[in-house]
Amino acid sequence: MKRVFSGVQPTGNIHIGNYLGALKQFVELQDENQCIYCIVDLHSITVPQDPRELRKHILDVAALYMAVGIDPEKSIIFVQSDVSGHAELSWILTCNSYTGELSRMTQFKDKSKGRESAPAGLFTYPILMAADILLYDSDIVPVGNDQKQHIELCRDIAIRVNNTVKKTFVVPEGRFLKAGARIMALDDPSSKMSKSAENIHSRISLLDDDGKIKKSIMRATTDSEGEIRFDPEAKPGISNLMNIYSAFSGESLEDIQTSYSGKGYGDFKKDLVGIVQEAMAPIKKNFNEIRETQELKDILTLGAEKAGAIAEKTMKRVKENFGLGF
């Protein structure tokens, strides 16, 4: 059995980009692998968070994990800050990373744009992500395309330690889906859909009601040509919507293009509204059933115990190989 690890930041409600890029894979992988899914709260404080909101979002993300189909009987679900090995390993890896490689991370460049000085955590965040993955001897990391560079960095750090210190880490592989790997913002198809973007109509959250889903899709940016054709360069808006359509319906982009030939954007968008509303309905129902229960907290407590036991073994090996302690 391969070991799978991934996480989501509790920075707001999960949107269809997170779902199609990452969570859908989480569910697919859990039958044939040992899966560990984390709510990465330590990552979320790289930017200021309201403590009460953060706690709420941690439980929201945990409930959404289960609502989309992650089964705690099959997969470990836990909160990152409950396992101290993440922060501990992160420091050891920081001492084996270089400022040059960190400065090349495009997410750091984007998030620190326009600032004279950025929070150091924003800069070292990819090392914490590497620690998350390496702590569990993970073979596979299902993520969206935006994390490709961070996975590469994680592999580089693991290989570096293996070669310069001692063979310590499993070198993981990223896993990216074709259809949902990068869902773009509905109001601006040049940037990715994001939880923390100001405009709520830039995204569809998994908990949006039918009215909000309709509004966001109907006002999504397209172009003046009016032809439903997949061309991300020339027609990024409609291509993004076609991607969403394809990922939810399972229909290929070619088939979508053929079936909407001669029809307008209005018809296409109306159908997409129905498809997304239908996909979100069971998720919302499941979420409401689990969110306020004690069971949810018990699952996280048990998950942290299971994850902690694996992490402890890795940390013992890491400390031994690095000569830490006595």
77 counts as binding ligand AQP under rule CB under 6 A: no
28 counts as binding ligand AQP under rule CB under 6 A: no
Would you name the residues annotated as active-site residues?
Answer: 111, 192, 195
46 counts as binding ligand AQP under rule CB under 6 A: no
- The residue from 3, 24, 86, 195 that contacts ligand AQP (CB under 6 A) is 195
- Was 144 annotated as part of a binding site? yes
Choice between 56 and 316, CB closer to ligand AQP: 56
Pick the stretch among 13-21, 26-34, 65-73, 276-284 that binds ligand AQP (CB under 6 A): 13-21
Residues making up the chain, counted from first to last? 326
Considering the complex, what minimum distance in angstroms separates the CB of residue 275 from ligand AQP?
Answer: 17
190 counts as binding ligand AQP under rule CB under 6 A: no
Residue showing tokens 């935006």: 146
3-state percent helix, strand, coil for the chain, nearest multiple of 5 = 55, 10, 35
Report residue 29 CA to chain centroid gap: 15
Choice between 72 and 189, CB closer to ligand AQP: 189
- Was 146 annotated as part of a binding site? yes
21 counts as binding ligand AQP under rule CB under 6 A: yes
- Was 9 annotated as part of a binding site? yes
Choice between 9 and 33, CB closer to ligand AQP: 9
**Alpha-carbon span 247 to 180, nearest angstrom:** 6
**Alpha-carbon span 60 to 44, nearest angstrom:** 14
**Alpha-carbon span 49 to 66, nearest angstrom:** 24
Residue 27: how many other CB atoms lie within 10 Å? 19
Q: What angle do CA 141, 144, 148 make, to 5 degrees?
A: 70
Choice between 20 and 307, CB closer to ligand AQP: 20
- The residue from 11, 202, 222, 240 that contacts ligand AQP (CB under 6 A) is 11
Q: Crossing angle, helix 51-68 and helix 294-322, to 10 degrees?
A: 100
196 counts as binding ligand AQP under rule CB under 6 A: yes
Residues that bind ligand AQP in the complex, under the rule CB under 6 A = 8-9, 11, 17-18, 20-22, 143-144, 146-147, 180-183, 192-196
Binding residues for L-tryptophan: 132
